[in-house]
Amino acid sequence: MAIYHLSAKVIGRKTGRSAVAAAAYRSAGRMRDERQGIEHDYRRKGGVVHAEILAPDNAPEWMRDRDRLWNAVEAVERRKDAQLAREIEVALPRELSREARRELVRGFVEREFVGRGMIADLAIHEGRARDGREQPHAHVMLTLRELTGEGFGKKERGWNAPERLQGWRESWAREANQALERAGRSERIDHRTLEAQREEARGRADRERGAGRPELALVYDRDAVSFDREPEPKIGPAATALERRGIETERGTAFRAAAERNVERRDRGWRQLELRLELMERGRAFVAAARERLDGLWSRAECAMERIRGRREVERSGEDERERDLRARRDSILGRTGPERDVDLDREAADPECERARRDAILGRTRPGREQPEPEVERFRKDAGEGKERDRDRRDAILGRKKDMRERSPGRDRDRER
C-alpha cells in the first residue's frame, strides 16, 4: 500500500555535519570540502537512481554545479553552529513507475521550493523495505539564503514558519494522490496524523451503522484498526549498519519495542473486530429466525381469520333465512303476498292508523266505521267463547247449580266469581 512520509530537518554544524558531505552521500558522488580540506567519496554507494540540481531562473549558472554550490554555502556561513541547509525527505509511491515517480517529485520540488527562490539538490533512492520490496524515496537539500545577483544574501526566515511545513505536507499528499489517480491506482496517502485518521474512520463507521449499512461500517472499522498504531522511530543508516552486523543499538531497541507494541495493538483490534462481526452475524441469524417465525404465526392468524369470516357468513346466511321464514309466516297470517306485502308494510310503517287497525284485527276489537275482523280472527274469538261456556258449565255441575238458576241471577254469579 502507498505510505505517506514527509520529514524536514536542518543540516548544521552544531551536530558536526557538513553540507558538502551530505550532498556527496545523497548523490553517490565524490566531492571535496574546501573549508575542511576533506574529500568525500560515495561513488560505491548503491540505490541512487537519479540526482540533479534545480534552481530558479535568476540563479547564476555556477550554482547548478553541486561542488561549487555547497562549498559556497559552507563559505558564506561563518558561525560554528550555523545552519547550512534544510533537508526534505519524502516516500515515493511504489505503485508508480520509476519515470512517474521522478516526474512527481520534480514537479513538487519546482512548485513548492524552487518557485519560492530556493535551490534544490534532488536525489532519488531505491532501497529495500523490511518486507523485502523496494522502498523508493527522495532527498531534497535546500538552500536557506535568498539569491542576490551572483551570490547569497540574507537568510529567509519565512521559510522556517511551521505553517509553511504544514502546507508542504498537504501539497505532497494532494499531488501524490493525483499521480496515483492518473495511473489508475486506488491507493491513497494522507498527511494527517494516525490518531486523526483513526478518529475519522471510527466516526464514519458509526455513521454508516446508524444509517443501516453495517457492511460499509465494517470497512471503516478495518481502517480504524490499521491506523491504531504508534509511529515507529527511525533507526538511521549508522544504527542499521551496526544492527546488520549483530550489534544492538539504542535506536534498534526502541524500534523493536514500538513494533512489538504495534503488533499487540493490531492483534487486539482484529480480535475485537472479529467479535463484532460474529455478533453481527448472530444478530442477523436471530432476526431471520424471528422473521420466519412471525411469518408462520401471521399465516396461521390469516387462516384463523378466514375460518371466522366463513362461519360469520354462514351465520349471517342462516339469520337471513330465519328472517325470511318469520316474514313469510307473518305475511301468511296477515294474508299478504307478493308486491302487495311490501306496499302494506310501507303503508303501515308510514301510517299509525294502519298499525292500530292491524292490532284491533288481531285482538278482535271493532270500531264504528271500521271493517269487520278477518275470518280467522272471528273463528279464534268463537272458539274462545265456546271454551269459556264449557268451563262455566263444568263449574256449575261441581257446585250443584242448575243452568236456569245461573240464568236468573247472572249478576250474583258474577259477584261470586269475583
Kindly report, residue by residue over 261-295, the tens digit of the pLDDT.
Answer: 989 988 888 888 888 788 878 887 888 888 888 88
Q: Is residue 248 part of a domain?
A: no
* SS3 category, 228: coil
Residue 113 has pLDDT above 80, yes or no: yes
Q: Is residue 239 part of a domain?
A: no
Q: Is residue 89 part of a domain?
A: yes
Question: 338 in the Ramachandran plot: left (φ > 0), alpha (ψ -120 to 50) or beta?
Answer: left
pLDDT digits over 340-382, tens only?
555 555 555 556 666 676 667 666 665 555 445 455 545 555 5
* SS3 category, 202: helix
Residue 214 has pLDDT above 60, yes or no: yes
Residue 40 has pLDDT above 50, yes or no: yes
Q: Is residue 46 part of a domain?
A: yes
Average pLDDT rounded to a whole number, residues 130-156: 90
Q: Is residue 96 part of a domain?
A: yes
Q: Which helix (H) or strand (E) holds 303?
A: helix 250-334
Q: Is residue 53 part of a domain?
A: yes
Phi and psi for 103 in degrees, rounded to 5? -65, -35
The residue out of 141, 160, 190 marking a domain boundary is: 190
134: confidence class by pLDDT, cuts 50, 70, 90: confident
What are the C-alpha distances in Å from 259 to residues 113, 130, 137, 256? 34, 12, 22, 5
The reported pLDDT for the residue numbered 415 is 47
What predicted TM-score, i.e. pTM, was given to this entire model?
A: 0.63
Average pLDDT rounded to a whole number, residues 197-225: 86
124: confidence class by pLDDT, cuts 50, 70, 90: very high
Segments of 42-195 assigned E as strands: 48-54, 83-91, 120-128, 134-142, 145-148, 151-155
The residue out of 160, 190, 220 marking a domain boundary is: 190
213: confidence class by pLDDT, cuts 50, 70, 90: confident
CA–CA separation, 173 vs 163, rounded Å?
A: 16
CA quadruple 367, 371, 374, 378: dihedral, nearest 10 = 40
Average pLDDT rounded to a whole number, residues 193-204: 88
C-alpha cell recorded at residue 93: 509511491
First-to-last alpha carbon distance for the chain, in angstroms, is: 123
What are the C-alpha distances in Å from 137 to residues 21, 94, 410? 19, 9, 145
The reported pLDDT for the residue numbered 73 is 96
Calculate ∠ Cα 114-120-122, nearest 5°.
Answer: 125
Residue 418 has pLDDT above 50, yes or no: no
Question: 416 in the Ramachandran plot: left (φ > 0), alpha (ψ -120 to 50) or beta?
Answer: alpha
Domain that holds residue 375: 351-417
Average per-residue pLDDT for the chain: 83
Q: Is residue 214 part of a domain?
A: no
More confident: 102 or 313: 102
Average pLDDT rounded to a whole number, residues 28-38: 94
Residue 225 has pLDDT above 50, yes or no: yes
The residue out of 190, 219, 237 marking a domain boundary is: 190
Q: Is residue 159 part of a domain?
A: yes
More confident: 176 or 335: 176
Residue 27, domain CATH: 3.30.930.30
Total domains in the chain come to 2
**Beta carbons of 244 and 189 less than 8 angstroms apart:** no
